[in-house]
A = this chain, B = another copy of it.
Amino acid sequence: MPDKKLKRALAPEPIAHQGMAGPGLFGDVGGQVKMADIAMLAGVSESTVSRALAGSKLVNPATRKRIEEIAATHSYSIDQRARNLRLSRTGTISVVFPLSHESEQGIADPFFLEMLGNLADQLSNRGYDLLLRKIRSDVPRMLTDLLREGRTDGVLLIGQSTQHDLINELAEHYQPLVVWGARQPDNRYITVGSDNRGGAAAAVRHLLDCGHRRIAFLGNRQLPEVAARYQGYSQALSAAGLSVAPDLLLPVPFDRQGAFAAISGFLDRDRAIDAVFAASDIVAIAAIRALDQHGLKVPHDVAVVGFDDIMVAAAYTPALSTVRQDIALGARTMVDLLFRLIEGEAVNSVELPTALMIRASSAHPA
């Protein structure tokens, strides 16, 4: 047998795809250089290159060093497509926003956007990519597609929307799933969320302490998180010996315009309220505007408390009292739980504490 190794090393295509622009920082962008090229240059097999680059102990330190240098010289990076295929993983976590029918247009609420930013941080810290998906009405189809296509190692679902039952069914068959939202008795999936009930109760107690009695509740109680906040609201009222007045419960949507319209409509027929507890800061801000247009001053005539503590809340005029959710902690927790699920660990849902931020919009009436 003639020397096969030599023959390979002398093969006509050294690596010269094209100009090979030298050591310039961006010389080889585009992924033309492959592992086989590095192997040939180093005079070893692909196996050895793979092992060297993966840090395996099975390669001679000298060989490894040479390979690493060659790889660096040609600014080679492992092709993640191929690697992931072989390892049957993806290196990608999907973040999915189920959009309710209301706001088909987009992820509007700053709370969710801030959450997204934090998740991106957390995931990139762990070397994972973040795949962003919005899902419209047909959640089941799109979600299963996403999973089956093998594009993702796990899913973070932001908000339960009104899809609780579907999520439950999905969870039966798909493990690496963490949902931001309210923990419910029959949840078969892992949730991370705030103590909605407790936070809301604290807010309403605060309004009661200020002497308010006719406190409107603004929010769509079909959403589990809002339902939990409503529980806190009603619980705080009961504790004070008051009962819930059904005419003070407004099922307003979460988007700005919808909320504004709903609240305006309400104020057109009923203005006998002295406080408002809104299920989100966006709703609270819409409420303040609507109140203003109806000649009611905040906090003088009506006190307002929101929920979330989005960035603008403190900067708003009047500064918005609100129940603070710790978004950064929430994101960290979701990612942490998801990776533990991926590793097969059994984990439990988490409920995070909230903090009542009292600001100008609910200052004690003079």
Contacts and interface: CB of A to CB of B under 8 A. Distances in A.
Nearest to A289: B315
Nearest to A32: B148
A144 B75 CA distance: 9
B110 A173 contact: no
A194 interface: no
Given A132-B130, A315-B286, A77 B174 contact: no
A29 B173 CA distance: 7
A30 interface: yes
A113 interface: yes
A258 to B, nearest CB: 13
Contacts of A124: 133-134
A95 to B, nearest CB: 8
Interface stretch (A53-61, A80-88, A178-186, A339-347): A80-88
B78 A106 contact: no
A120 B107 contact: yes
A317 B316 contact: yes
Nearest to A135: B124
Contacts of A77: 145, 148-149
Contacts of A140: 25-26
A286 B169 CA distance: 46
Given A121-B106, A148-B31, A172 B82 contact: no
Given A174-B26, A285-B312, A81 B79 contact: no
Contacts of A280: none
A151 interface: yes
A113 B145 CA distance: 26
Contacts of A110: 110, 113, 311-312
A349 to B, nearest CB: 20
B79 A149 contact: yes
Nearest to A31: B150
Contacts of A21: 173
B315 A285 contact: yes
B256 A30 contact: no
B132 A120 contact: yes
Contacts of A75: 144, 148
Contact of A151 (B24, B27, B129): B129
Contacts of A173: 21, 24, 26-30
A116 B118 contact: no
Which residue of A118, A173, A288 has the most chain B CB atoms within 10 A of its CB atom? A173
A79 to B, nearest CB: 5
A129 B117 CA distance: 17
A129 B285 CA distance: 33
A147 interface: yes
Contact of A26 (B31, B169, B256): B169
Interface string A23-47: 0111111110100000000000000
Contacts of A85: 81-82, 85
Would you list the 4 A-B pairs with minimal beta carbon distance, nearest first?
Answer: A113-B113, A77-B148, A107-B117, A317-B317
9 contacts: A21-B173, A25-B140, A106-B118, A107-B117, A108-B311, A110-B113, A110-B312, A129-B132, A129-B151
